Amino acid sequence: MIEGFEGINIAVNDPETFVLFYKDQLGVPLVFEGHGNYVGAKLAFSRNDPGIIVWDKASGDVAVHDLTEFVFRSADLDKTYETLKFNGVDIQPPFLADWGGKELRCADPEGNSILILEEAY
């Protein structure tokens, strides 16, 4: 039986740049460094939480699809915005979304969308 959700596999052109962006600029912990050159690396908030599992697109180890959107949450989106801006992330200020919660959007080095939510949906 299925017992839990491990994460999302993503194939990228430059695993090292991808991992370092999420780890160093967004602050997502790297819980598994992968099998060399960050291939098979897992970014998550704990080893047992679902995460982003990074693969090298050139290896053919993972199905390649279009761009992905990653959704994170934050208790204080204004503070998160200031931290990400300080970390060098190209980002616009948070805004109130149609559904009533605050959102913040940016993109990673591969062009994938990153959505950060402040309120529960």
User: Which portions of the chain are predicted below pLDDT 50?
Assistant: none
Quick one: tokens of 30? 């790297």
| pTM recorded for the entire structure | 0.84
DSSP 114: E
Q: What CATH class does 67-121 carry?
A: alpha beta
Q: Domain ranges in the chain?
A: 1-59, 67-121
Going by C-alpha positions, the residue among 86, 39, 80 that lies closest to residue 60 is 39
The pLDDT assigned to 2 comes to 60
Reported as type and span, the H/E element at residue 83 is helix 77-86
At residue 80, the 3 state secondary structure works out as helix
Quick one: tokens of 23? 């780890």
Q: What CATH class does 1-59 carry?
A: alpha beta
Quick one: tokens of 96? 């109130």
